[in-house]
Amino acid sequence: MFVKLAVAASLVASVAAHAIFQELWVNGVDQGTSCARLPASNSPVTSVTTPDIACNANAASSKGVCQVLPGDEVTVEMHQQPGDRSCANEAIGGAHYGPINIYMAKVDDATTAVGSSAKWFKVSEMGLPSSNPDYWATEVLNDNCGHFTFKVPSDIAPGNYLIRAEVIALHVASQPGGAQFYMSCFQVNVGGSGSANPPTVSFPGAYSASDPGILINIYEQLNSYQIPGPSPYATTSPTVAATPYPTTATWNTALQPSTVPTAVPTAGAKGIGKA
């Protein structure tokens, strides 16, 4: 961790290393930015009380709505610069260590819904996968060329939803307002015949600036970490391992595309597999 402190001290001063969740995959099929609400810049949101905490600042809605089914594997993809899908660069660099959270919100129309008015439930999270040494979800994200995969809950009701993908960077979070929130929303339609409507939270409202997972000094040995927000629905958070976390990619980075689709793929499009 002392090595990370030295790296952070040098990088925070010289490199912004900001990032954006930009692309979506469904069962290994690249949806690109076809249903993404891309923010105006890669800069973070730093206030938990602004409406921007829902879907980022000046994030315009998309014409596209991606199709998913309960139980599908959905992957969100982050990179530092718009349109850059290279695995040669870290997805989020500059010692921006912290957790990943994925939320969904059922809405009447995904193309017009206002994120700060929606009701959100968490479907996946990763915080500190290992404490020997401390190894963060964002480091796992970088291992996998910016990809993080979760499952759509198998029993949720059909209809339009927003997906909210979020990284909370904690490299300067030891003072109030220091945590940096990087989030994007994606527009999807969930099929199937489920009926579940999980308990929800609001953004803003789900987080406090003094939450122990938001106001924190990560440059001391951490044997546990309290991920901000509610517990994920119908799944559990990964436990903190006492052994080193494997750095081998679980996403097939060899098949990473260089171009970005902007149209929703046709039904039956072929996807790639995991490594």
pLDDT of residue 2: 38
Range of the domain at 154: 20-220
Average pLDDT (132-161) is 98
Residue 78 has pLDDT above 90, yes or no: yes
Q: If you count them, how many residues does the chain have?
A: 275
* Position 198 in a domain: yes
Q: Could you tell me which residues come within 8 angstroms of residue 31 by beta carbon, excluding any fewer than 6 positions away?
A: 23, 24, 25, 66, 261, 264, 265
pLDDT of residue 267: 83
Residue 150 has pLDDT above 90, yes or no: yes
Average pLDDT (70-84) is 97
- Enumerate the H helices of the chain as residue ranges: 2-14, 52-55, 137-143
Local confidence band at 258 (pLDDT 50, 70, 90 cut-offs):
very high
pLDDT of residue 7: 46
Residue 262 has pLDDT above 90, yes or no: yes
Are residues 162 and 186 in contact, defined by beta-carbon separation less than 8 angstroms? yes
Reported as a single tens digit per residue, the pLDDT across 108-118 is 999 999 999 99
Dmax of the chain from CA atoms?
A: 52
* Position 120 in a domain: yes
Residue 9 has pLDDT above 50, yes or no: no
Residue 237 has pLDDT above 70, yes or no: yes
Q: Look up the pTM and report it.
A: 0.94
* Position 33 in a domain: yes
pLDDT of residue 5: 46
Matching residue, tokens 């090595």? 3
* Position 128 in a domain: yes
* Position 268 in a domain: no
Reported as a single tens digit per residue, the pLDDT across 196-231 is 999 999 999 999 999 999 999 999 999 999 999 999
Distance CA 12, CA 7 (A): 8
* Position 272 in a domain: no
Backbone angles phi, psi at 2, to 5 degrees: -65, -30
Q: How many domains does the chain have?
A: 1
Angle at Cα 160 formed by Cα 77 and Cα 263, nearest 5°?
50
Q: Residue 101's domain is classified under what CATH number?
A: 2.70.50.70
* Position 36 in a domain: yes
Average pLDDT (127-138) is 97
Average per-residue pLDDT for the chain = 93
pLDDT of residue 16: 65
* Position 138 in a domain: yes
Counting Cβ atoms within 10 Å, is residue 199 exposed (0-12), middle (13-18) or buried (19+)? exposed
Distance CA 38, CA 122 (A): 21
Reported as a single tens digit per residue, the pLDDT across 181-197 is 999 999 999 999 999 99
pLDDT of residue 241: 96
Residue 1 has pLDDT above 60, yes or no: no
